Amino acid sequence: MTTALVWTGVALLGGAGAVCRFLIDRAVSTRLKRGFPFGTLVVNISGALLLGFLAGLALSPHTALLVGTGFVGSYTTFSTWMLETQRLTEERQVWPAAANIVVSVALGLTAAWLGMWLGGRL
């Protein structure tokens, strides 16, 4: 696979991942109109599951780069997670901020493990 093709694939899949993130975050946030960032939580947990699944499949390096970095890398959002946690803290919502960290890490690790387990079974 040529370098230009890999770059093009990462760009296209990255765009698709960003659009999926936007749509899922918006859908979840619209349904759960609360001060907690449930949309980002759903996106990051599902992204951890997907990336774990892809890792369990033991894909070729080019395919892993295209799908893992291109799609999942732009789908998940560490920076938004941190910013939303910071905003909760600024609003003196310390328990929701702490819950966002603990729940995200615990569920993220569990989802990644589950994804790897499922991918390894195929």
Residue numbering of the annotated binding site: 73, 76
| CB contact at 8 A, 104 and 47 | no
| CB contact at 8 A, 72 and 47 | yes
Instruction: List, in sequence order, the alpha helices (H) in the chain.
Output: 3-31, 38-57, 61-64, 73-75, 78-90, 94-120
The sign of the CA dihedral 4, 7, 10, 16 is negative
* DSSP conformation class of 66: I
| CB contact at 8 A, 98 and 106 | no
Q: Which residues are annotated as a binding site for Na(+)?
A: 73, 76
